[in-house]
């Protein structure tokens, strides 16, 4: 049986309350984050195990258990009794046979985990565009600690709540980091990840010029990296190394600097200034301005350049 993890239904193949699930769709559905949370008692009333199946997608299962939990997993023909806890992941490659049976735990315990789901074509295309030749042989992996992927999944889960036009830059950077981790750690590839060790001065200048020239638009990682003449896969890491900021933080800071200038030097309405620096919702602009500078835009303007604000806080997201 092939199981479509991207359909956001119970992997136990039973009817399950929607309260058990939350789903974040990314990259036009090519990547998804599915969060699952239920009491073992409720789960066992539906099924004792995830039946034997082959995932349609590549799946990273991230465990959020509050204390160690015993599971019995059959993965790609191998069977193992796992004693797994928060911070562990299991990697289920597409089409690798998989079955999971719950241990005899306290029925009141809560089973909490997430699935980070990648369409196979998405990872294959990303690898090919970065000089990684096929075929890609992904490694079925029983529960093992991977705090890096947990940090990424946590950030991805919270990213949609960021009311900022640069939020997509954050999500794209996170997904690229997750893909690099999977290709480096959970795949056997013909050619290892490679790329430039740093941005040249010219590449950095072109990227920054593009951001400044297009800050009123919905910037994305692809357009900025193309301006620099680099692949998306390598750009975010090299940009951070060159500037000390992620693309998300840099774009937000650049927009706020331009907004400060317009507030000081013009009488434009705040709604017009918000639009000129890429914010379609003035309320989102005002909230971000306050979080960066510690005062709202109108107070900044009234203080003639915000001279009363003695320090500018760094962006923290």
pLDDT tens column, 63-72: 998 888 888 9
- Residue 59: per-residue pLDDT: 95
Residue 123 · residue 183 · CB < 8 Å: yes
Which portions of the chain are predicted below pLDDT 50?
Answer: 13-15, 18, 306-317
Residues 168, 154, 233, 204: what is their CA dihedral angle, to the nearest 10 degrees? 60
Q: How far apart are CA 66 and CA 21, in angstroms?
A: 18
- Residue 20: per-residue pLDDT: 59
Residue 99 · residue 79 · CB < 8 Å: no
User: How would you class 315 by CB atoms within 10 Å of its CB: exposed for 0-12, middle for 13-18, buried for 19 or more?
Assistant: middle
Distances from the Cα of 36 to the Cα of 6, 21, 58, 82, 86, angstroms: 13, 5, 17, 19, 14
Identify which of 138, 243, 238 has the alpha carbon closest to the alpha carbon of residue 195: 238
- Residue 287: per-residue pLDDT: 92
- Residue 143: per-residue pLDDT: 95
List CB contacts of 176: < 8 A, sequence separation 6 or more.
Answer: 221, 232, 233, 236
Which DSSP string do the residues of the chain spell out, in sequence order?
-EE-GGG-S-TTSS---GGGEEEEEEGGGTEEEEEEEEEHHHHHTT-SEEEEEEESSEEEEEE--SS-EEEEEEETTEEEEEEE-TTEEEEE-TT--EEEEE-S--TTSEEEEEEEEE-HHHHHHHHHHTT-PSPPEE--EEEEE-HHHHHHHHHHHHGGG--STTHHHHHHHHHHHHHHHHHHHSEE-SS-----SS--HHHHHHHHHHHHHTTTS---HHHHHHHHT--HHHHHHHHHHHHSS-HHHHHHHHHHHHHHHHHHH----HHHHHHHTT-SSHHHHHHHHHHHHSS-HHHHHHTTTTTT----PPP--
Partners of 59 in the β-ladder? 92, 117
- Residue 317: per-residue pLDDT: 36
**Angle subtended by helix axes 221-228 and 232-243, to nearest 10:** 80
Domains, the chain, ordered by start: 2-187 (2.60.120.10), 195-244 (1.10.10.60), 249-302 (1.10.10.60)
Partners of 56 in the β-ladder? none
List CB contacts of 226: < 8 A, sequence separation 6 or more.
Answer: none
- Residue 185: per-residue pLDDT: 92
Residue 282 · residue 296 · CB < 8 Å: no
């Amino acid at each position: 049986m092939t199981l479509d993890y991207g359909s956001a239904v119970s992997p136990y193949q039973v009817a399950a309350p929607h309260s058990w699930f939350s789903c974040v769709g990314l990259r036009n559905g090519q990547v998804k984050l599915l969060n699952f949370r239920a009491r073992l008692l409720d789960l066992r009333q539906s099924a004792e195990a995830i039946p034997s199946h082959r995932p349609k997608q590549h799946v990273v299962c991230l465990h959020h258990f509050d204390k160690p939990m015993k599971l019995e997993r059959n993965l790609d023909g191998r069977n193992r009794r796992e004693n797994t806890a928060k911070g562990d992941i299991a990697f289920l490659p597409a089409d690798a046979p998989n079955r999971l049976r719950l241990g005899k735990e306290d029925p009141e315990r809560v089973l909490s985990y997430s699935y980070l789901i990648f369409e196979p074509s998405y990872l294959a295309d990303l690898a090919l565009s970065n000089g990684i030749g096929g075929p890609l042989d992904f490694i079925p992996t029983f529960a093992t600690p991977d705090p890096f992927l947990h940090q990424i999944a946590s950030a991805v889960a919270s990213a949609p709540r960021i009311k900022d036009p640069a939020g997509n830059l954050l999500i794209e950077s996170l997904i690229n980091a997750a893909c690099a981790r999977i290709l480096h750690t959970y795949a056997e590839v013909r050619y290892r990840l490679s790329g430039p060790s740093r941005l040249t001065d010219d590449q950095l200048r072109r990227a920054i010029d593009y951001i400044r020239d297009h800050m009123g638009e919905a910037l994305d990682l692809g357009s900025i990296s193309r301006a620099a003449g680099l692949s998306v896969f390598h750009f975010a890491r090299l940009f951070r190394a060159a500037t000390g900021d992620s693309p998300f933080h840099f774009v937000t800071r650049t927009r706020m600097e331009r907004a400060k200038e317009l507030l000081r030097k013009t009488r434009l309405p705040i709604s017009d200034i918000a639009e000129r620096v890429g914010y379609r919702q003035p309320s989102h602009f005002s909230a971000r301005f306050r979080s960066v500078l510690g005062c709202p835009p109108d107070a900044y303007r009234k203080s003639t350049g915000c001279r009363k604000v003695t320090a500018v806080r760094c962006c923290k997201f």
